[in-house]
Structure 1
């Protein structure tokens, strides 16, 4: 498991040194750096998959996982300098006592408009981290919208078991692997059976009672048909099949999150942005519990969220002993108030990391940390 990440001179951060856990929750204001951390990890994975994370390659800024632009877009505005007065973009991961470091010494004339930043320091033995393992998943906030059909990629769904950064391969993955037996680590006894599809439907029913899902091949095309039904597939209790476009955004947005958490393997890395999107509060809490269950089964899950319900779902998972407090890291990202006297061009970002007790209570509650309900109630009652 990756237990610490260090970032220098990359996008929002001049410097960041942050501990990670089995389940890491990134919260905070918009534009405060949460996505930057996710993108740093995705950038390393993207460069690795392109076989470029070498001295002969570099950091691939635009690809399947992230599209970050060119060098001028990713170099922090108030960069630190070294090596003869030149800035460097550095990423460091610590795992099992080993430190893996990648550094690109940035040359302003060469790299400003480049989308591949050469590396002059490259970590060895990268197979030690699940970030580069076969069960990696990264689901961005801009997931695919409900549609009648989805693309059918054998390479992504069957060979790589990858759901796509936008969840675009989820329907095809479910079509291929629907009968896959679930392991005891994530299996729920109340599921109809022991297959992946049974468990996907069980979690979907936490959002929409009675729902079932089906993904089928459209023979002779490069598409998969996704549909939903209610209260049984056959018999008098069954309903018509419904297109995803006719059942709202929530089910289809949640589907990749559910599948990603269920198929995660021990040691793998699962990165989820805004799993709460388009879900009512109960559904948001259940998504947090599913992420906690995946972490308890041995995956490393990193969640970016703006939802206090997701936070509370994690707290309840600790209180219910699904996870221990040491299995959870919570980080609140904030922008330091304007300080023109310090001569900064870019805002200074800060991170506060409250800890959890076994009863799910937080050690401290920083200003701005999911306190809008209390502030609104104070105004209503005043």
Structure 2
């Protein structure tokens, strides 16, 4: 597992370090650096998979949906070098360094790779096959009548960074059991599901998190497309198109399927899991992602939802599906980053100003308004 991340010279970070746990939550103000943390891990993954030695390059636009612009746009404006470093640390004191350098032409659309780790990096390294590394971006696909298909080997197909392969994954793995490689993985099996199969588990979790539903996924032969349809339990055979179900299902289902696809030691990165979900669903999705982390997977998520955070707190305090020491939250303010721990009662170590306190602020203003103050 990756236990630390150090970023040098990349975007807003001249030099910054972060502790990482089985579940790491990034939250805070817009433009505070949350996405930069995730993008640094994406650069490391790109370097690991596209370069076999120094002398390679990573594209700043395209892969993982990145749109970082020109090389000069990603160099920290206060640094006096042309180098970017991403250093990862491990549990046993390991250190894995990815080094990048701006090309001579600052308008270049890539970074030159100067340094790569020799040893295997958990969740990111060269030997990690998709979907062992999964990144789901904030701008996932909304309801679609058809979805894409990947030409990869079936076992190497993940849900895609926008959830575009979710239907294909469900169709190909419909009858395959969700992993129980370790006994601890059994907690990912929904207690009310009729079996361990991927479709059955996905339906059970989606029914709990979003709303009761049935899922039918198919790969359309000959047209390189996949389809997914939904149904109401108890209504025999009637299939509902995604466009008639709203955005919540289409945004949340890839997160659920991605979690069910994981194996211990995998890395799952999710941006804004709460998008388009009602508050109860946000809380339950937070509990689900905490279960994924508690099953041996490293999960990093960016969120603006106090409901998601409270769902994770419930997973620690009530469900006991995640140990308190296996979670950390980083709060990004305008000019600082604060780590926040949690205890086994779900209590946070501190609650800085601006950290999910807007409801109290607004209620206080409403109370004063009622009294004419």
Q: Say whether residues 1:128 and 2:121 are aligned partners.
A: yes
- For the 8 Å contact 1:88–1:105, the answer to whether it is kept is yes
For 1:94-133, list aligned pairs within 5 A.
94-96=89-91, 97-106=93-102, 110-125=104-119, 127-132=120-125, 133=128
1:365 aligns with 2:364: no
Q: Quick check: 1:229 aligned with 2:225?
A: no
CA–CA separation in structure 2 for the residues paired with 1:249 and 1:323: 29
Aligned to 1:12: 12
Alpha-carbon RMSD: 1.5
Task: Identify the match of residue 88 of structure 1 among 83, 91, 109.
Answer: 83
| TM-score of the aligned structures, taking structure 1 as reference length | 0.89
CA separation of 1:4 and 1:208: change in aligned 2, threshold 3 A:
closer
Q: Distance in 2 between matches of 1:318 and 1:148?
A: 38
Separation in 2 of the partners of 1:190 and 1:223? 32
Query: Hey, what's the Cα distance between the residues in 2 that align with 1:59 and 1:220?
Result: 34
Where does the alignment leave 5 or more consecutive residues of structure 1 unmatched?
A: 337-349
CA contact under 8 A between 1:187 and 1:199: conserved in structure 2?
yes
Please give the per-residue CA displacement for 1:32-68, whole angstroms capped at 9, x wherever unaligned: 1101111111121123222x26312133323321232
Segment drifting more, 252-261 vs 62-71: 62-71
8 Å CA contact 1:53, 1:59 repeated in 2: no
> The residue matched to 2:292 in structure 1 has which SS?
helix
Distance 1:43 1:120 in 2: 13
- What TM-score, normalized by structure 2, do the two folds share? 0.91
User: Given that residues 190 and 205 in structure 2 are in contact (C-alpha distance below 8 angstroms), is that contact kept between their aligned partners in structure 1?
Assistant: no
Q: CA deviation at 1:250?
A: 0.2
Of 278, 285, 304, the residue aligned with 1:287 is 285
Tell me the residue number matched to 1:313: 311
The residue number in structure 2 matching 1:200 is: 202
Matched residue, 1:271: 269
- Helix, strand or coil at the partner of 2:341: coil
Do the aligned partners of 1:44 and 1:53 also contact (CA within 8 Å) in 2? no
Q: Cα offset for 1:90?
A: 0.7
Partner Cα separation in structure 1 for residue 28 and residue 343 of structure 2: 21
CA 1:319 to 1:162, structure 2 compared with 1: closer, same or farther past 3 Å?
A: same
Q: Quote the offset at 1:16 in angstroms.
A: 1.2
Q: Residue 226 of structure 2 aligns to a residue in which SS?
A: strand
1:271 alignment partner, SS class: strand
**1:26 matched residue in structure 2:** 26
- Which stretches of structure 1, 4 residues or more, deviate above 4 A after TM superposition? none
Q: List per-residue Cα deviations over 1:159-199 (Å, max 9, x = no partner).
A: 42321111111110111001111222411221022211111
Gap regions ≥5 residues in structure 2: 181-185, 369-373
Q: Partner of 1:345 in structure 2?
A: none
**3-state DSSP class of the match of 1:200?**
helix
